[in-house]
Amino acid sequence: MENKYVHLSIENFVGILTLGRPEAGNAIDLQLAKELMEVAVFCSESENIRAVVLTGAGNKFSVGGDLKSFANEGDEIGSHLKIVTAYFHQAISYFARMNKPIIAAVNGVAAGGGMSLVCACDLVYASEDSKFVTAYNKIGLTPDGAGSYFLPRLIGVRRALELLYTNRPLDAKEAKEWGIVNDVFSNKKLMPFVLDLATKLANGPISAFGVTKKLLYHSLQETLESQMSLESLMIAERASSNEGKEGISAFLEKREAAYIKK
């Protein structure tokens, strides 16, 4: 896809998505939000993409919303933000709902909407010099990008409120300890690790990954019995699917499962 600010390349069934406004810290303006949504739709639909990696160009992941472009709207800033967040939120919805795993490779600061975007990813790996900061309340704003949904689910309400009220940044090590980040690597090792993992996942049972994600999200609003009912339905459905049949056969035959149609 030919985009100005959100670049997509495909390698080994992995869609590598790069936020491409390094001169502005990959800040999210209207154009970037719109392109992010379009790329999210493409990634969710393309048969050539079975896993997604999300990162930022330059030395930052994303500093969040482009406040300068927002302020330029003057009295229309409220209407403008509704349009920007409509695109941004639709992108996050597609990423969160698609069957394909999405992995964030955080290569620097992730602030505001950038941090929310990180929290919405399935797996997160960060460079040693990465920092995470909510940023919203410091400038009199409130979370967007599903930050108020994912953050308390990852770290709990009290810690989420602490970060939002105080604007205290977390370094990569602390973000890992709190459960925002899966692991931390040197700048040199971050992308090789993430791309290797994404390639392995791309060769896995994509539909099973998607259903597993849905089950986990549903578990937060279900009772014990209703969740187990969903589990029963889903595992029976997956066992009858082509993926399930191939996975079971491969296990019994002591071979690697072949989930990609050749």
List, by residue number, the catalytic residues. Answer: 89, 144
Task: Give the burial string for 8-38 (b: 16+ CB within 10 Å, else e).
Answer: beeeebbbbbbbbbeebbbbbbbbbbbbbbb
**How many whole angstroms separate alpha carbon 199 and alpha carbon 125?**
15
Given a contact cutoff of 8 angstroms between Cβ atoms, the answer to whether 144 and 88 are in contact is: yes
Phi/psi for 28 (5° steps) reads -95, 110
Q: Comparing C-alpha atoms, which of 138, 130, 143 is closest to residue 166? A: 138
Phi/psi class of residue 139: alpha, beta or left (left: φ > 0; alpha: ψ in -120 to 50)?
alpha
Instruction: Please list, in sequence order, all residues whose beta carbon lies within 8 angstroms of the beta carbon of residue 250, skipping any fewer than 6 positions away.
Output: 256, 257, 258
